[in-house]
């Protein structure tokens, strides 16, 4: 069946799929020149990396290469497909076109059309095929050209993939990964700009991951493919071309990161800032600005949205006594709201200030560039929120 899908169905869907990808490809031109510089040798001493992270001289010993997020994802797929013949990838333009964002570049030539399966434009169709293949012991990686299109397949993701292990009393495992770009890009309008972290993380049976750096992308995707349960893997297309330092350990084929564990990107003592995906970089840059004003911010890269690393978040809040949550999604019922609930339930007595939530605006994403910028969190929003939490600025209510 998979061979038929790879050799026959794909031929009819290629041209139409390419037409639909054009608007997304415009935004993906944030490839930047860094996309062509994977594995660049020795970063020397980097005082202000594009990621927002600061590096010390000692980091030279650990971070010997740079890798783009795109190459991190591609290498993770390649190595897992090489290690396990049950792993295959399917989706629109993943084969002959090598992926709308070139994440699957070179995989068709290496593994053939039985394992790199081009599909027609039918998310419900190929997602259902993928879930069925997982039922029978294969390990599909289903690519959505954008997670906005996963709404066409949400019945299979929620009712077929997420619930089957529970409903079968553990007799059916569903080792499948749903991956693709999530959240806002640039100028692609309301229907292509939603963040699905809160949507999918509300569903029992799913694991939801959101990488930020190349280390995150490589380690978390490997963990997702190896996991026995369905994983929603939320990438960000504006990060694909970003380069990050990686260590020799990260480049090892056995490397993976634990699902459900956050990373403290920057230690601090005055305020905790939680973020995921692209917002981690914004939080790190905000922390640099705050440091110049005498505020020491601790930045937590969530990495895993479900399961959520509540212990790391609460331990940080108990140290700093203040919390700012940052996300691009809608404010109501968001990831930040869940973090707030966890802190109020477990660490309320440690808070010295109200929790600050920074999120996308509660409106469909505008198309106009100036309005689009206003609709999503900016670095200055995070700085202002941290200052409010530290009582270093006039509260918004007082200025009304």
DSSP structure string for 305-342: EETT-HHHHHHHHHHHS-EEEE-SS-STT-HHHHHHHH
Catalytic residue among 143, 192, 298, 356: 192
CA distance 231 to 325: 24
Q: 142 with 178: CB under 8 angstroms?
A: yes
Distance from C-alpha of 159 to C-alpha of 255, rounded to nearest angstrom: 32
Tokens read off for 350: 């440690």
What is the token pair recorded at 392? 């270093």
Structure tokens given for 378: 């900016």
Contact 71, 39 (CB under 8 A): yes
Query: What is the rounded distance in angstroms from the CA atom of residue 66 to the CA atom of residue 89?
Result: 26
From the list 330, 324, 326, the residue with the least C-alpha distance to 361 is 330
123 is catalytic: yes
3-state secondary structure of 147: helix
Give the span between the Cα atoms of 145 and 124, in whole angstroms.
13
DSSP string, 49-114: -TTS----TTHHHHEEEEEEHHHHHHHHHHHHHHH-TTEEEEETTSSTT--TTSTTTTHHHHH-TT
CB 383 within 8 A of CB 326: no
Task: Write the DSSP string, 149-167.
Answer: GGGGGHHIIIIIIISHHHH
Query: Would you call 192 a catalytic residue per the annotation?
Result: yes
Which tokens in the block code for residue 8? 């026959």
Active-site position among 123, 143, 265, 298: 123
Q: What angle do CA 350, 197, 309 make, to 5 degrees?
A: 35
CA distances from 177 to 86, 138, 184, 298 (A): 13, 11, 21, 31
The H-or-E segment that residue 263 falls in is: strand 263-266
Residues annotated as catalytic are 123, 192
């Amino acid at each position: 069946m998979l061979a038929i899908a790879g050799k026959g169905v794909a031929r009819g869907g290629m041209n139409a799929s390419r037409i639909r990808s054009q608007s997304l490809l415009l935004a993906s031109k944030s490839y930047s020149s860094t996309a062509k510089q994977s594995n660049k040798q020795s970063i020397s001493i980097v005082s202000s990396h594009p990621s927002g992270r600061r590096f010390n001289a000692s980091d030279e010993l650990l971070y010997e290469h740079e890798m783009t997020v795109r190459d991190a994802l591609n290498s993770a797929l390649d190595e897992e497909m090489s290690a396990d013949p049950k792993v295959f990838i399917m989706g629109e333009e993943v084969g002959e076109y090598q992926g709308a964002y070139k994440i699957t570049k070179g995989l068709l030539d290496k593994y053939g059309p039985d394992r790199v399966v081009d599909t027609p434009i039918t998310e419900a169709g190929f997602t259902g095929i993928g879930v069925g293949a997982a039922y029978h012991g294969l390990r599909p990686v289903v690519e959505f050209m954008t997670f906005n299109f996963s709404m066409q397949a949400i019945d299979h993701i929620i009712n077929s993939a997420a619930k089957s292990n529970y409903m079968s009393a553990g007799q059916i495992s569903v080792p499948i990964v749903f991956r693709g770009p999530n959240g806002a890009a640039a100028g692609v309008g309301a229907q292509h700009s939603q963040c699905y972290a809160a949507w999918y993380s509300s569903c029992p049976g799913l694991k939801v991951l959101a990488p930020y750096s190349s280390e995150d992308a490589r380690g978390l995707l490997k963990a997702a493919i190896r996991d026995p349960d369905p994983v929603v893997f939320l990438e960000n297309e504006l990060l694909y071309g970003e380069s990050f330092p990686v260590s020799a350990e990260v480049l090892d084929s056995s490397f993976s990161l634990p699902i459900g564990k956050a990373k403290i990107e920057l230690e601090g003592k005055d305020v905790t800032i939680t973020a995921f995906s692209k917002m981690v970089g914004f939080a790190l840059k905000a922390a640099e600005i705050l440091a110049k004003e005498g505020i020491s911010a601790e930045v937590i890269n969530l990495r895993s949205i479900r399961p959520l690393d509540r212990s790391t978040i609460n331990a940080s809040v108990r140290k700093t006594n203040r919390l700012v949550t940052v996300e691009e999604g809608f404010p109501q019922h968001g990831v930040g709201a869940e973090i707030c609930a966890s802190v109020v339930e477990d660490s309320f007595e440690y808070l010295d200030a109200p929790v600050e939530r920074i999120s996308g605006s509660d409106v469909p994403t505008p198309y106009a560039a100036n309005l689009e910028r206003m609709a999503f969190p900016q670095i200055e929003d995070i700085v202002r929120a941290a200052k409010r939490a530290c009582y270093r600025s006039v509260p918004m209510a007082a200025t009304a």
